[in-house]
Structure 1
Amino acid sequence: MQTFSTAEELTAAVGTQVGSSDWLLIEQQRVDAFADATDDHQWIHVDTERAAATPFGGTIAHGYLTLSLLPMLGAQIFDLATPGAKLNYGVNKVRFPAPVRVGKRVRAHASVADVTELPTGLQLTLGWTVEIEDEPKPACVAETVVLLLD
């Protein structure tokens, strides 16, 4: 795990791959809990019988579930040990090139895309790719923005 404590350390890392998370098994229980939390019970995510008859052969995770895993997976890759609060500021880009079938494993790869100094601290832009084990296309490619307040 890489720890960033200063603006200089983050700036020096711009354009570099920071690392990869551990593999995470996507289980139906997690998909169902996400469906309950978001009130998104689309059958391809929660109806195992109906989804079995699709080309996916079973249920798939919500794309936004995959995106929501970035903070947890990112915590395995790097630590932002800057002194102030850290706030999610937004997402510049997000795509879901391939669905994550329940029972598959995923892992995240993170890079530092940009660091911008602001009057209140730093704006950190991170690049993400969420890989699906043994699949040619990633589950998610995203660029997120975090504010690191002084």
Structure 2
Amino acid sequence: MAAIDEALAKTEALVGTEVGVSNWITVDQAMIDQFAETTHDDQWIHVDPKRAAAETPFGGTIAHGFLTLSLASRFAYDCFSMLPGQVMGINYGFEKLRFLSPVRAGSRLRGRFVLASVRKRNDRELLRENTLTIEIEGQETPALVAQWLGLAVFADPEG
């Protein structure tokens, strides 16, 4: 049996189950400021703590939604390892993404993954869909929920 077929069989058995919970990451003002500088998104609700405290209901600055989303890759590193025979993993995008709660500066986040589906695309690729929930420590409502697609790419079976 080819490595991809063995990986498919093992992964199919996990559909519907939680497959990983990452470590916590603190999203502090320095991280928010660096993200703002990198993306040229310096809206004051992200980078002006005094104004954000005075003029928003958040009590201070909040992280960019895309900063929160960008941490998904780090969370995945905490939760997933390569399957036997896999040579790389590729971000394939999102089917659905919702930002549900703002992330205040100083918050701690983690990712929780539930395998929604897996299918073989061809002799070298498995397409996995995970429900990703990015949780905010101490809050019931998560920062975001997304259906994240990833390709597990395997070595050429022809060698």
Same fold (TM over 0.5): yes
Query: Structure 2 counterpart of 1:131, which letter?
Result: E
Could you tell me which runs of 5 or more consecutive residues in structure 1 were left unpaired when the two chains were aligned.
none
2-side partners of 1:145 and 1:24: how far apart?
Answer: 22
**Higher alpha-carbon Rg:** 2
Q: Which residue of 2 aligns with 1:75?
A: 77
- Farther off after superposition, 14-23 or 74-83: 74-83
Q: Which residue of 2 aligns with 1:142?
A: 146
1:61-106, Cα deviation, whole Å (9 max, x unpaired): 1111111101101211221334222111111111111000001111
Query: Structure 2 counterpart of 1:87, which letter?
Result: I
Q: Which residue of 2 aligns with 1:61?
A: 63
Query: Structure 2 counterpart of 1:65, which letter?
Result: L
| TM-score normalized with structure 1 length | 0.91
1:1-150 to 2 correspondence within 5 Å?
6-53=7-54, 54-81=56-83, 82-119=85-122, 120-150=124-154
Task: List structure 1 segments (4+ residues) > 4 angstroms apart after TM superposition.
Answer: none
2-side partners of 1:147 and 1:19: how far apart?
Answer: 17
- Farther off after superposition, 6-15 or 88-97: 6-15
Query: Structure 2 counterpart of 1:88, which letter?
Result: N
2-side partners of 1:137 and 1:33: how far apart?
Answer: 26
SS state at 2:33 partner: helix
Could you tell me which runs of 5 or more consecutive residues in structure 2 were left unpaired when the two chains were aligned.
1-5, 155-159
Larger % of helix: which? 2
SS state at 2:81 partner: strand
1:3-59, Cα deviation, whole Å (9 max, x unpaired): xx8222211111111121122111111111111121111111111111111210100
Aligned length, in residue pairs: 146
Query: Structure 2 counterpart of 1:13, which letter?
Result: L
The CA RMSD measured in Å over matched residues stands at 1.4
SS state at 2:138 partner: coil
Query: Structure 2 counterpart of 1:140, which letter?
Result: L
